Amino acid sequence: MRSLYVWLSRLIALGVVVQVLVIAWSTFDILNKAGDGVPFTEDTEANAGAMIHSVLGMMVIPLLALLFGIISFFAKVRGGVALAWATVGLVVLQIALAFASFSAPVVGLLHALNAFAIAGVAGIAGARASRSDTPVAAATGDPGVPASA
C-alpha cells in the first residue's frame, strides 16, 4: 500500500504539471486564432487544451486525490493520512476556485496558486513515504549506530 500511496502522490503532482502545460497551450491557441481573426467562443471542444484541462481537473485529479485519501489509511506513512486528506481538501478548493474564477477572473490567480499547493503537498507526502523510517540513534550519541545494534 505504501508504494501505491507514493505513486498516487506522484500522479497528482504530475497531473498539476500537465494542467499547467495544457492551459498554456489553450491560451496560446486562443491568441493564435484571434490573431488570424477567429473569434473566441466558449466552445471548449474547439480548444483541445481547455478540454483536456477541464477533464483532468474535474475528473482525473479529483479521482486520484480521493483514492490517495482512502489508501492513506492503509499505507502506514507517518503523517500520511493528514497529508493525503490535505491534498483532497486542496483539490476540492481548486474546483471551487475554478468556478468562482468564471464570475471573478482575478480569483484565477488563487486557482493557479492553489495548484502549486496541491503539487507541493502531494510531493511532500510522496517524499515522506519514499523514505524508509530510520531507527533512532543509540544512546551513545553515535548517529551512525542504530538503537537496536
> What is the number of other CB atoms lying within 10 angstroms of the CB of residue 128?
17
Is this structure's pTM higher than 0.85?
no
pLDDT at position 37 over 90: no
Least confident of 13-27, 41-55, 116-130: 41-55
Residue 69 has what pLDDT?
Answer: 98
> What is the number of other CB atoms lying within 10 angstroms of the CB of residue 64?
23
Phi, psi for residue 137 in degrees, rounded to 5: -65, 150
Q: Which residue ranges make up each domain of the chain?
A: 2-130
Least confident of 58-62, 106-110, 134-138: 134-138
- HEC string for the chain: CHHHHHHHHHHHHHHHHHHHHHHHHHHHHHHHHHHCCCCCCCCHHHCHHHHHHHHHHHHHHHHHHHHHHHHHHHHCCCCHHHHHHHHHHHHHHHHHHHHHHHHCHHHHHHHHHHHHHHHHHHHHHHHHHHCCCCCCECCCCCCCCECCC
Residue 131 has what pLDDT?
Answer: 85
The grid coordinates of residue 16 equal 498539476
CB of 64 closer than 8 Å to CB of 11:
yes
Question: 61-75 and 80-103 helices cross at what angle (nearest 10)?
Answer: 160
pLDDT at position 4 over 90: yes
HSE-CB at 78 with a 13 A cutoff on CA atoms is 6
pLDDT at position 102 over 90: yes
In this prediction, residue 133 has a pLDDT band, given cuts at 50, 70 and 90, of: low
pLDDT at position 147 over 60: no
As a whole-number percent, the residues of the chain with pLDDT over 90 amount to 74
CA dist 29 and 106 (Å) reads 21
Residue 43 has what pLDDT?
Answer: 60
